[in-house]
Amino acid sequence: MFKVFLVDDEELIIKQIAESVPWMDNGFEVIGMETNSKKAVERVLELKPDVIFSDLRMPYLDGHTFLKTVRENGLDAEFVMLSAYGTFEDARTFFQQEGFDYLLKPLQIPEVQLVLEKLATKLSIKHPQKAVDSEEIVNPAFVALVEYVRTHFNEKFTLEQLGKKFALNPGYICNLFAENHNTTLTCLVTQVRMEHAVVLLNTSNFNLKQIANECGYKDYFYFNKVFKGYYGMAPSQYELERV
């Protein structure tokens, strides 16, 4: 699993982020949290997380200074900035420092989900897992789990629920996805959903809301964001281009 460290000067907020975001489903594990930005520098340099979610407005070191300090000390982690008062100038400064993404507080889980999927994709390329030898026997329960995911992609399930159904530890499932597919559960689900969406766009008479629903998205606007992020165009534009 990819390692995440959280930094926010408000303890209630940092705990809420740790508990409400579906980290494990996306192949992430929160390995530490810190409310003091100076102490956070020491801890992330020691723990070496893959990703740091950091508040922008903090005492001692603000988010920009915190990012710069960590990078100057040689840690090549991805940064996601969190802010309730973000300005255009803040966002520009952050991306000039090669930050990964910028989220507004209070966090909306669908927005975080999109960022986590993009992060997982980038990190899978950045830190590819050792491929399993083709002659090795893959856990049959995991093979059944993947097949279940591919055929029930329009349903809602969590890593924990799948673990109970197939008698596998959630953390072990994460590792198997990384080793066998170099991906995560949610990235696989999104891939299958997007492929199905294109099939429906090409072969059905469904409208876009019906297609979103058929692919497991109750919220059409979220489906639109996911599709655009995956294919680089909105589904409506895809429809026009194939005519």
Tens digit of each residue's pLDDT, the chain (243 residues): 899 999 999 999 999 999 999 999 999 999 999 999 999 999 999 999 999 999 999 999 999 999 999 999 999 999 999 988 767 788 888 888 889 999 999 999 999 999 999 999 999 988 876 655 544 567 999 999 999 999 999 999 999 999 999 999 999 999 999 988 899 999 999 999 999 999 999 999 999 999 999 999 999 999 999 999 999 999 999 977 765
In terms of C-beta distances under 8 Å and separation of at least 24 residues, what long-range contacts does 63-70 make, across chains too?
A: 63/94, 64/90, 64/93, 64/94, 64/97, 66/7, 66/37, 66/40, 66/41, 67/94, 67/97, 67/99, 68/97, 69/41, 70/41, 70/44, 70/45
Instruction: Say if residue 170 is preceded by a cis peptide, omega within 30 of 0.
Output: no
213 and 100: one domain? Answer: no
93 and 20: one domain? Answer: yes
* Residue 146, domain extent: 140-183
74 and 159: one domain? Answer: no
User: What's the structural domain count of the chain?
Assistant: 3
92 and 203: one domain? Answer: no
156 and 61: one domain? Answer: no
* Residue 35 belongs to a domain: yes
121 and 197: one domain? Answer: no
- For the CA atoms of 143, 147, 148, 151, the dihedral, rounded to the nearest 10 degrees, stands at 180
Place of tokens 């988010």: 63
6 and 115: one domain? Answer: yes
193 and 164: one domain? Answer: no
The Cβ-side half-sphere exposure at 213, using a 13 Å CA radius, reads: 5
Question: How far is it, in rounded angstroms, from Cα 66 to Cα 46?
Answer: 15
* Chain segment 27-67, per-residue pLDDT in tens: 999 999 999 999 999 999 999 999 999 999 999 999 999 99
75 and 173: one domain? Answer: no
For the domain that residue 77 is a member of, what is the CATH number?
3.40.50.2300
224 and 179: one domain? Answer: no
